[in-house]
Structure 1
């Protein structure tokens, strides 16, 4: 257990601090001599104490030797890799692993919070730690050669999370782990389908995920919320192949063990597979007519994240929505109003109210109790500020930096959000251990006195945030 927890420790505990550096203006021959003398395969290029790029032995082979260039005439700036892939020294080790895997690189430069060079970490450093780990799971996912093998890997992800729960790993890191591993499975599945069944598939599309998956805030029972955006210039044959691909992809996801969306929000359905122009028209309809259904759908859609394909299509759609809502605040106000309708279940004297009867008697739905209000309230503020990238945590940090949210208020919200998500994940893990279907309900009598007190404080924080949202968006001006 302790060995696996190493992957959630900060990178500062593992990175190499003694980094050989050079300047961009240095001659390549001089730097190569330094690399040979130190027996190293890379040199970090710095300027004013900040890393600018990296020069590796692979660059020398591919950009100098293979091209027959004279190294005596070259400076480091001519062949270095830039911009540089970096990671913060306070980020967890698993994040470094995930970025290396996604970027298909073998090392990351580590920087301080101020952006100065702090060290370097390589995949070899991580491999030394352990074979049985999240790292091994990522490697196995990358090597998966069939849908059946991905199904087994999806089961291993759930078992790993169950195994790690209750070990003191921060909930934010646990949620990111789940999201990162699920991302890897889906990306690998797309590559498998493209190589075996759809080698002729167009490159001019994006497969996007939305909702909690779009925010990288998945827990174990999260179902599918995905869509496809494709270029307006595709011909009918290309569109038909995308349609066939979307059906096989979603069917394969379900067979792997990822639940289908009960509302049909999946790329195999025509309503969730459109050209960029058609998506803009659909967005205009949602944003111009903020009915309760359109508000719920539009809000979920604004979490869209390009998991595969052309990210520029996603950004074009997001900017279109921003422009629309800058001119018409109606949708944003209705979205904010909707989050205030989910009142925290607090009674007299701060007593937490539970379901009185039915299958969930004595339990509380933690998503409706507070998670939804926080995610959607922060989302509304982030849309207004055009700071919609990343998770709810990322958005809070961006809002604080931009002055839209006070630091003390954000700290209280972070604490409330993390506790509620922790309770939700614990409930999911308990359900899996008991062999029952996970839900968002938790039993109040299963919480100790300290946890019940923290639960009450979290719900009070949600109520305070809802009051802030009502005032900020002037919801009293809305006609009901």
Structure 2
């Protein structure tokens, strides 16, 4: 197996199963004695059979030795780190890497499906894998010292995707990896800009990403869809600093190689940089006046995810939207109607209809053909359920749990979605290898006979999902 593919194997294949444990009530001195005897740097703290904290030699240094506390009088619970950072044993290794990087920690406790202790994994375990890997990319991103460094790393991310394409990595994992790496670049860029030019910048804001980036479903053509939400009580001087910061940030992103949004959906533009109450007012306008442009913008906005800063501002805004939608389903019905307007391009006897004119003549826009209908239809159902976390996959699984969709229909929809996204990514990879600009268009002749058959089946599944959406939201009651 290629070294990069190791990162798409489950954590269970790499974690250490033998884990030393203790209880919160154990004396600190006895726990440290065990650590010294076993030559280990941490112990997992159990409450019954469930992990509830972790105690490390760093905790001993920072919480006992440095402040001059007497260890004889302390228990493990007095100094352990809680709540605990965990990862499921069936999660992919790259997810463990990403979580450690985001939390700036060196180990994760591994748990089973019931949340019980299953093992532990450390950054040292991951470093045993070879250097040319997603892990090395993350480390290099964290060490990037300039915008120029990040530009080179952005190219390396594309090259990694080119290398992994066609190696059997599941598309769900591929797009999550792309999103994770792009997240890391943006987070590092913000840190560099704050350190170099914006040291006095307030912390009372959130930089949010939306659309496919908000869902963590990026491929190789994603442009910018971002915004800033700031606290209502922010002084005018801090608001002005945020404005200057937003211009530097978006400019730097463009210079790195992340294209500007053609529709101007970027934090440097005033309409995408508002206070919390300002955003609530704007949401009210979109949700109560579901004109086509408001439906498209509002739908994209509801994928918002706090990439940096105060996540509570995002939660407050989302809860405000849920409250609005619970009293009037007009917006959701129009959103559902809009996705049903993107009918799969299937003609008589299942023949796929292609572009007749223009630069993409003879090709299929696979996003309009099916991807958009699935993501927006699933999103409308998730908004109604007040559960917008995660990706389209995550939302479909939630809809099964809440009995909005039956399991078989959900499996069929996921399979169709994965095939369509994988086909789009494959087309983009082929374009890059040919020195062309990647897009959402796919040439039908680039697919073999079996793939063309799968494409027809996927588009037929999209049409069935649209019929389900029409029935669920009772679109026959809408007046055009």
The equivalent residue for 2:442 is 442
Counterpart secondary structure, 1:390: coil
The equivalent residue for 1:16 is 16
206-215 vs 348-357, which moves further = 348-357
Report 1:396-435 matches (<5 A).
396-435=396-435
Task: After superposition, give the CA deviation of every residue in 1:423-476 in whole Å (9 maximum; x if it has no partner).
Answer: 010111111111111110111111111111111111111111111111111111
The equivalent residue for 1:115 is 115
Q: CA deviation at 1:156?
A: 0.7
The equivalent residue for 1:128 is 128
Task: After superposition, give the CA deviation of every residue in 1:104-131 in whole Å (9 maximum; x if it has no partner).
Answer: 0000011111211111100000001111
Ranges in structure 1 where 5+ consecutive residues have no aligned partner:
none
Counterpart secondary structure, 1:220: coil
Task: After superposition, give the CA deviation of every residue in 1:189-243 in whole Å (9 maximum; x if it has no partner).
Answer: 1111100000011111110000000001011110000000111111221111111
Task: After superposition, give the CA deviation of every residue in 1:80-110 in whole Å (9 maximum; x if it has no partner).
Answer: 1111111111111111101000000000011
Task: After superposition, give the CA deviation of every residue in 1:367-398 in whole Å (9 maximum; x if it has no partner).
Answer: 01110011001101111111101111111112
Contact 2:141–2:184 (CA under 8 A) maintained in structure 1: yes
Q: Give the whole-Å Cα distance in 1 for the aligned partners of 2:43 and 2:449.
A: 55
Moved over 3 A (4+): none
The equivalent residue for 1:98 is 98
Contact 2:202–2:238 (CA under 8 A) maintained in structure 1: yes
Report 1:49-60 matches (<5 A).
49-60=49-60
Q: Give the whole-Å Cα distance in 2 for the aligned partners of 1:25 and 1:395.
A: 40
396-405 vs 3-12, which moves further = 396-405
Counterpart secondary structure, 1:418: helix
Ranges in structure 2 where 5+ consecutive residues have no aligned partner:
none
1:221 is the counterpart of 2:221: yes
Q: Give the whole-Å Cα distance in 1 for the aligned partners of 2:351 and 2:76.
A: 66
Q: CA deviation at 1:357?
A: 3.0
Contact 2:337–2:470 (CA under 8 A) maintained in structure 1: yes
The equivalent residue for 1:451 is 451
Equivalences, count: 480
Q: Give the whole-Å Cα distance in 1 for the aligned partners of 2:77 and 2:400.
A: 37
Report 1:170-181 matches (<5 A).
170-181=170-181
Task: After superposition, give the CA deviation of every residue in 1:153-212 in whole Å (9 maximum; x if it has no partner).
Answer: 111110111111000001011101110010011111111110000001111111000000
Q: CA deviation at 1:69?
A: 2.1
The equivalent residue for 1:5 is 5
422-431 vs 72-81, which moves further = 72-81
Contact 1:419–1:455 (CA under 8 A) maintained in structure 2: yes
RMSD after superposition: 1.0
1:292 is the counterpart of 2:299: no
Q: CA deviation at 1:314?
A: 0.7
Q: Give the whole-Å Cα distance in 2 for the aligned partners of 1:72 and 1:156.
A: 52
Report 1:327-342 matches (<5 A).
327-342=327-342
Q: CA deviation at 1:311?
A: 0.6
Counterpart secondary structure, 2:258: coil
Contact 1:387–1:399 (CA under 8 A) maintained in structure 2: no
Task: After superposition, give the CA deviation of every residue in 1:219-274 in whole Å (9 maximum; x if it has no partner).
Answer: 11100000001111112211111111111110110010000000000001000001
| Structure-2-length-normalised TM-score | 0.99
Q: Give the whole-Å Cα distance in 2 for the aligned partners of 1:75 and 1:256.
A: 50
Counterpart secondary structure, 2:356: coil
Q: Give the whole-Å Cα distance in 2 for the aligned partners of 1:383 and 1:25.
A: 44
Task: After superposition, give the CA deviation of every residue in 1:306-343 in whole Å (9 maximum; x if it has no partner).
Answer: 00111111111100000000011100110011111100
